[in-house]
Amino acid sequence: MTREKRIEQLKYVVDSSEHVRINDDKILEYIKLLDLNHSSYWFDKEWLEISEEECIRMMFLIESMNFCFWKEPYFEKIFLGKEHKKSTAMFFCIIDKIKQDGNFLDMSHLLNVTKEELLDIFGGKKELPFLEERYRNFVETVTIMNQKQELFYQELYSVKSDEELLDYIVSNFPSFNDVSQYKGKTVCFYKRATLLVHDLFENSQKIHSNIKTIDHLLGCADYGIPRTFRHFGILEYSDALSKMVDNRQLIPKDSNYEIEIRANMLYALELIKESLQKNGKQINSIQLDGIIWLTGRNIEGEHHLTKTIFY
């Protein structure tokens, strides 16, 4: 699906929203405060001595489990002398396992990873949230890669654009197909699939050479950036939604509340990017998303809570 079609879907939600509104004036104020020097990619190739195809498998597995880190107890991990929590802790749990066990990424091993082994990799806390869902996604991803065998890499290496790669992921791996229905219209968010395209672009020389750019990606509709945008007044919530968020009430997956938060967040990010570009600052949506996410990590206030495998 093209970038233009997805923005059209978001615009439909923005125009039809009952509980979320974008304040254009606050966008202009926010841009003056935005520091574009915070961008950094999370993975360093020097951490692991693995092949390109092993790295691809690792990225598929990590992003298959990259969701819902707001519920305690949090993932925790010390990696290279630094303490990490939540999503980055989960990433480093997997990376540290690969460092310790050079055979971990062998398909013969991945096919036999048990839920108990995965729990042990994550530190052994039996009450870790959403373990069943993470394990289910892990198994699905490994199974599909194994069924395709060498065709899996042939298909990936034949892709010629970021949009085509995104479509390949969501079409072949159901747990990445992050789609909602809003007032009779389909809205494709593709949060984890977007992150995976970015991972593959950064870590596979062949894929990077083939697709050449990730400028057609949208941002990643999650929890953190809507909180940041609300803090700065860019997103305004209705009284009903504000009460739910501030009181940490669960907001159902695929409810109008949830879809309006995610769609308006993505559309506001596009408005910020357009304004920056008009002022000569060249940046794509995924870069801008990463900067806003990083700079907003210590923002005070609640974010919405939704039980979902998609973000």
* Residue-number span of the structural domain to which 172 is assigned: 3-295
The set of long-range contacts for 285-290, using a CB threshold of 8 Å and a minimum separation of 24, is 285/215, 285/217, 285/218, 285/219, 286/194, 286/198, 286/214, 286/217, 286/219, 286/220, 287/39, 288/219, 289/219, 289/220, 289/225, 290/39, 290/40, 290/41
Cα diameter, the chain: 55
Angstrom distance (rounded) from CA 17 to CA 263: 9
Query: pTM of this prediction?
Result: 0.97
Flag whether 191 is in a domain: yes
The total number of structural domains that make up the chain:
1
Flag whether 291 is in a domain: yes
Tens digit of each residue's pLDDT, the chain (311 residues): 999 999 999 999 999 999 999 999 999 999 999 989 877 899 999 999 999 999 999 999 999 999 999 999 999 999 999 999 999 999 999 999 999 999 999 999 999 999 999 999 999 988 999 999 999 999 999 999 999 999 999 999 999 999 999 999 999 999 999 999 999 999 999 999 999 999 999 999 999 999 999 999 999 999 999 999 999 999 999 999 999 999 999 999 999 999 999 999 999 999 999 999 999 999 999 999 999 999 998 898 999 999 999 99
